[in-house]
């Protein structure tokens, strides 16, 4: 009988595999970096669109608006079983864009509208490269029927939360400052894309550098020296070698391989290297790490959606 119960328990466990445990690597009560989406243009169900949230004390700062970001953020809030109330949709008010590629902006309408529908009463603040204003105004125009109906229809809605105060930056340097963070933008090389940027966030206790999309870029090396966390995009070297010549040519000038990233890590020695915008191309996490560790032996984390650093 006892064995039978054990057997049934075993079957029960098999049928109720919990989703991969959400991982928390953070070591600060003040600053937490959340990977909302570690993806790229491929619609992988395991990698939501490229988006990060930096939480400093009670304020969230979003970086890039890949599709799915609002729902990924919700996953970590108390309503859905998490403990980061700071990521509730209505609290998402400040956001930064590295560049306007669609895999980084396809969630922009969601970021403007869903937090408003969920009760955000202030305009969203967005800091992005040239073209951000044009994109913003056109999204608002595209949704004017929705906005009009919610503001003037029977539904209780405020007339502020759908608005966007956008600000464009064009030069390297400080683009934002408040009592929690100083944000510096620096140019990165992303093929011939004219306006691709990385960011350095300095909080009261951490320096976090985010590559955005780029091939190996001197400014990343300059800004990441001694950072606590370098969040860098990456593709698999083994996967690259199996690509056709035209795709190889594209990726070489737009993105960064594991081996190239390992050299950047060696030159900068950040506390942690966190991989995001990951192109696995059939490689496993351990194969990516093996490629990197062949050159660099420091701490490297293959980012998964909802990881906290
Ligand atoms: Zn991208
Ligand atoms: Zn891009």
Tell me how far the alpha carbon of residue 4 is from its chain's centroid: 47
How long, in residues, is the chain? 309
Expressed in angstroms and rounded, the spacing between residue 63 Cα and the centre of ligand 1 is 12
The Å distance, Cα 101 to ligand 1 centre, comes to: 6
What ligand has the least distance to the C-alpha of 64? Answer: 1
Ligand 2 centroid to Cα of residue 216, in Å, is 14
30-72 pLDDT, tens digit per residue, is 999 999 999 999 999 999 999 999 999 999 999 999 999 999 9
Cα–Cα dist 127/261, whole Å: 27
- If we measure between CA atoms, which residue out of 12, 233, 210, 230 comes closest to residue 103? 233
Residues 6+ apart with CB under 8 A from 32: 26, 54, 55, 84, 308, 309
The predicted structure's pLDDT at residue 19: 52
State the average pLDDT over residues 13-25.
63
189-245 pLDDT, tens per residue? Answer: 999 999 999 999 999 999 999 999 999 999 999 999 999 999 999 999 999 999 999
Nearest to 275, CA basis, from 298, 243, 252: 298
How many other C-beta atoms are found inside a 10 Å radius of the C-beta of residue 65?
28
Give the closest ligand to the alpha carbon of residue 40: 1
Confidence of residue 144 (pLDDT cuts 50, 70, 90): very high
Determine the pLDDT at residue 155. 85
Q: What residues pack around ion ligand 2 (CB closer than 5 A)?
A: 101, 213
pLDDT band, residue 97 (cuts 50/70/90): very high
> Residue 17 carries which DSSP code?
P
Distance 190 CA to ligand 2 centre (A): 7
DSSP bridge partners of 116: none
pLDDT of residue 262: 98
CA–centroid distance, 122 to ligand 1, in Å, is 29
Rounded CA-CA distance 149/254 in Å is 42
279 C-alpha to ligand 1 centroid (Å): 10
pLDDT value of position 186: 98
CA distances from 303 to 7, 24, 48, 161, 277 (A): 36, 11, 12, 32, 9
How far is residue 66's CA from residue 184's CA, in Å, rounded to a whole number? 21
**Ligand in nearest proximity to the CA of 277:** 1
Helix (H) or strand (E) holding 279: strand 272-279
Indicate if the alpha-carbon torsion angle 115, 79, 50, 125 is positive or negative: positive
Does the reported pTM lie above 0.75?
A: yes
Give the C-alpha distances (Å, rounded to integers) separating 232 from 15, 273, 274.
37, 7, 6
Q: Residue 16: what pLDDT?
A: 43
Q: Which tens digits make up the pLDDT trace of 70-94?
A: 999 999 999 999 999 999 999 999 9
Q: Is the pLDDT of residue 2 over 60?
A: no
Closest among 87, 143, 97, 84 to 120, alpha carbons compared: 87
What is the spatial distance between Cα 203 and Cα 205, in angstroms, rounded to a whole number? Answer: 5
pLDDT top residue among 11 and 253: 253
- Work out the pLDDT band at 10, boundaries 50, 70, 90: very low
CA distance 55 to 108: 19
Q: How far is the CA of 49 from the centre of ligand 1 (A)?
A: 9
Ligand that comes closest to the CA of residue 190: 2
Q: Give bridge partners of residue 134 from the DSSP assignment.
A: none
pLDDT, position 17: 43
161: nearest Cα among 179, 135, 143: 143
Average pLDDT, the chain: 94
CA distances from 275 to 15, 39, 161 (A): 32, 10, 33
């Amino acid at each position: 009988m006892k064995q039978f119960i054990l057997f049934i328990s075993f079957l029960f466990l098999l049928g109720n595999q919990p989703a991969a445990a959400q991982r928390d690597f953070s070591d600060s009560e003040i600053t937490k970096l959340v990977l909302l989406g570690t993806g790229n243009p491929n619609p992988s169900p395991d990698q939501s669109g490229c988006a990060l949230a930096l939480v400093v004390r009670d304020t969230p700062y979003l970086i890039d608006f890949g599709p799915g970001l609002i729902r990924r953020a919700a996953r970590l809030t108390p309503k859905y079983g998490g403990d980061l109330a700071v990521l509730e949709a209505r609290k998402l008010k400040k956001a930064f864009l590295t560049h306007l590629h669609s895999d980084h902006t396809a969630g922009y309408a969601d970021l403007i509208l869903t937090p408003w529908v969920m009760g955000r009463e202030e305009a969203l603040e967005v800091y992005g490269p040239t073209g951000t204003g044009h994109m913003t105004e056109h999204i608002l125009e595209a949704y004017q029927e929705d906005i009009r109906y919610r503001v003037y229809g029977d539904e209780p809605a405020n007339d502020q939360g759908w608005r966007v105060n956008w600000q464009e930056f064009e030069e390297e340097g400080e683009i934002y400052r408040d009592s929690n963070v100083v944000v510096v933008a620096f140019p990165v090389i992303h093929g011939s894309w004219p306006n691709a940027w990385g960011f350095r966030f300095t909080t009261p206790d951490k320096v976090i550098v985010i590559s955005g999309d780029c091939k190996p870029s001197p400014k990343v090396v300059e800004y990441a020296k001694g950072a606590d966390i370098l969040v860098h995009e990456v593709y698999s070297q083994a996967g690259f070698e199996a690509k056709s010549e035209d795709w190889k040519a594209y990726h070489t000038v737009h993105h960064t391989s594991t081996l190239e990233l390992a050299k950047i890590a060696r030159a900068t020695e950040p506390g942690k290297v966190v991989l995001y915008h990951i192109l696995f191309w059939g490689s496993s996490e351990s194969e990516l790490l093996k490629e990197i560790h062949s050159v660099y032996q420091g701490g490297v984390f293959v980012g998964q959606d909802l990881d906290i650093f």
